[in-house]
Amino acid sequence: MTEAARNDVARVVIVDDDRAIRWVLERALAQPDLDVECIERADVALPRLLENPPDVLVTDIRMPGIDGLDLMSRVREAHPDLPVIVMTAHSDLDSAVASYQGGAFEYLPKPFDVDEALALVRRAVAHARERQRPVTVPEGLNAEIIGEAPAMQEVFRAIGRLSHSHITVLINGESGTGKERVAQALHQHSPRAGKPFIALNMAAIPRDLIESELFGHEKGAFTGAAQQRQGRFEQANGGTLFLDEIGDMPAETQTRLLRVLADGEFYRVGGHTPVKVDVRIIAATHQNLEVLVDDGRFREDLFHRLNVIRIHLPKLAERREDIPRLTRHFLAEAAKELTTDIKVLTSEAEAHLTRLPWPGNVRQLENICRWLTVMASGREILVEDLPPELRSPSASESSALGDWRTAFRDWADHALAEGHTHLLEEAVPDFERILIETALKHTGGRKGEAAELLGWGRNTLTRKLKTLLPALADE
C-alpha cells in the first residue's frame, strides 16, 4: 500500500464489553478505507487512545470499570477534536443528554442498523478530517422526559443539538403531549439555564389582557391598573419565554410580538419609554400554523420568525412502547405527591393500558395514574380497578386491534365540527409518519426492509424521512 493510500485509511477504535456487538461492528466496518480495532475494556483502551488517538472512537456507555462517558471525557480532554460515537442499550433522555454533554459526535441507541452505523462512522471520519469540534451540552436537567420510541429519540437529539443555542424553537404536538416539559428541557440545557423560564398559555388569557400579560402596564394605563406591573417579557429577561398555544394569539398581539422579536424592545401598555429585553422565545401549538397563515389568521412574517427550528412531539398512541415506563413513573410521582404507597400494575392491566387510544395523550395518562393512586383499593392495580370508561372492550380492542377506520372517521367528523380545514394536510403526514416509525420498529431501523414493508422504494422512504422525520433521515 502506498503512503497516500495509507493516509486515506481511517483508524476506528471500538470499545464495548459485549462480544457480539464487537463482532458485528468489526465486520460491518471491514472496509478498504477503514482500519478497525476492537477493545473489550475501557481501562485497557484508555492509555492506548491517549498515546495514539484514532480518527473515530465508538464506545458503549455501561461497562465494568471505566464507563464510556468517563472514557470519552478523558480522551477528549487530551484530544478535543476526536469525534466519539456513543452507543447504549439504555436509550433514555439522560443517556442522550449525558452523551452530548460530554461532547459526543453522535448518540447511537441499540439495536442499530449496521448500514446506518457504517454511514455514521464515515460521517465522523469526514468530521475529524475537517477538524470541527463536536457539539457539547451544559449541565442541569430537572424536567423528566421519558421515551424510547423513535420519535422521542428524535426529540432527545434535538435537545442535545440545541444545547448551546439561543435560537427560536417551535414545538408542534397535540394537547397533553408534553410541550412545556420539552421547552423546560431546552431552557435547562441552554446557556440561559441560570435565568428565568417563564411560561404563558395564550389560550388561557382573555384577549383584552394578553398585551398587559406579555408587556406589562404603567400605573393608570386602564381601569384597575393601580401600579406599574412587569409583563412576562421583562420577567424572562436574560432567560426563556415559553408561549404555549401561539396559534391563539390575537392578530394585534402578533404584530407587537413581531416588533419585539425584530427590535428587542417594547412599550408597556400606557407607556412611552421603550423597555429593552434579551429573551429567547420557545413557542408551541397543537394547530397547523401553515393552515392558519393560509387562512389569514396568523401573520406569515411572524410564522417565519418562530419557525426557525421545529420539534414535533408524537401522540401517546404513536409511542405505545413508552406507556409502561410512563405509567410506572407517574404512579411513583402520584404516590410521592399524595404521601402514600406506590401502586403497581399487573401485567394484564399494563397490557390493557398500552392498547388504549389515549386521546388526552401523556397528560391523560398522568391524571389516570393519580386517580388510580387514590381509588384503587389494593397495592396491585387490576384491570377491574381502572375507571369504567377505560375498562370497556371498545376502549382498547377497537383502537389497537379493530376498526381503526371508525376511529379515523370519528376524528374527521370531530375536526370538521370544530371548524378545522385542510384536513388532508394535517392527517396525511401523521398517517405516513406513524407507518414509517412502525415499519422501522419492526425492522430494527433497517430502512431497506422498512421500505419493502411499506410497499415503497428505498428512495421514496428516504425522501419521506427527510420531510417527516429529518433526524432519522440523517442516521
Q: Which residues of 128-137 are buried (b: 16+ CB within 10 A; e: fewer)?
A: beeeeebbeb
**Chain centroid to CA 16: how far?**
27
What is the DSSP code string of 180-193?
A: HHHHHHHHHTSTTT
Spatial distance between the Cα atoms of 36 and 269, rounded to a whole number of angstroms: 65
How many residues are present in the chain? 475
Spatial distance between the Cα atoms of 70 and 42, rounded to a whole number of angstroms: 9
User: Distance of CA 240 to CAs 91, 203, 420, Å?
Assistant: 28, 19, 31
Question: How would you write 392-454 as a 3-class SS string?
Answer: CHHHHHHHHCCCHHHHHHHHHHHHHHCCCCCHHHHHHHHHHHHHHHHHHHHCCCCHHHHHHHH
Grid cell listed for 448: 431497506
Domains and CATH numbers, the chain: 7-132 (3.40.50.2300), 150-312 (3.40.50.300), 318-391 (1.10.8.60), 405-472 (1.10.10.60)
Three-state DSSP class for residue 83: coil
pLDDT score of 418: 66
Q: Find the angle CA(397)-CA(401)-CA(403) to the nearest 5 degrees.
A: 90
- The answer to whether 365 touches 373, Cβ cutoff 8 Å, is no
Three-state DSSP class for residue 289: helix
- The answer to whether 76 touches 102, Cβ cutoff 8 Å, is yes
Grid cell listed for 220: 393608570
Q: pLDDT tens string for the chain (475 positions)?
A: 434 345 678 899 999 998 988 899 998 898 888 999 999 999 999 999 999 999 999 999 888 888 888 999 899 888 888 899 988 877 667 777 778 777 888 888 888 888 888 888 988 887 777 554 333 333 333 335 788 888 888 888 888 888 888 999 999 999 899 999 999 999 999 999 999 999 999 888 888 788 888 988 887 766 666 687 888 999 999 999 999 999 999 999 999 999 898 888 888 888 888 889 999 999 999 998 998 999 899 999 999 999 999 999 999 988 998 999 999 999 999 999 998 888 889 888 999 999 898 989 999 999 999 999 988 866 788 888 899 888 865 555 444 444 566 667 767 766 776 667 778 877 888 888 888 888 888 887 788 888 888 888 888 888 888 888 776 766 6
Backbone angles phi, psi at 91, to 5 degrees: -85, 70
pLDDT score of 475: 61
DSSP 8-state assignment for residue 229: B
Spatial distance between the Cα atoms of 252 and 274, rounded to a whole number of angstroms: 18
Grid cell listed for 269: 401598555
What is the DSSP code string of 328-356?
A: HHHHHHHHHHTTSPPPEE-HHHHHHHHHS
**Chain centroid to CA 230: how far?**
32
Q: Which residue has the cell 410521592?
A: 336
Cβ-based neighbour number of residue 156 at 10 Å:
26
DSSP 8-state assignment for residue 110: S
First to last CA, the chain: 32
Type and span of the H or E element at 139: none
Type and span of the H or E element at 324: helix 323-337
Q: In terms of C-beta density within 10 A (0-12 exposed, 13-18 middle, 19 or more buried), how is residue 388 classed? A: exposed
Q: Find the angle CA(299)-CA(314)-CA(459) to the nearest 5 degrees.
A: 90
Grid cell listed for 463: 425522501
User: Distance of CA 463 to CAs 193, 296, 472, Å?
Assistant: 36, 30, 11
pLDDT score of 381: 87
pLDDT score of 283: 95
pLDDT score of 141: 32
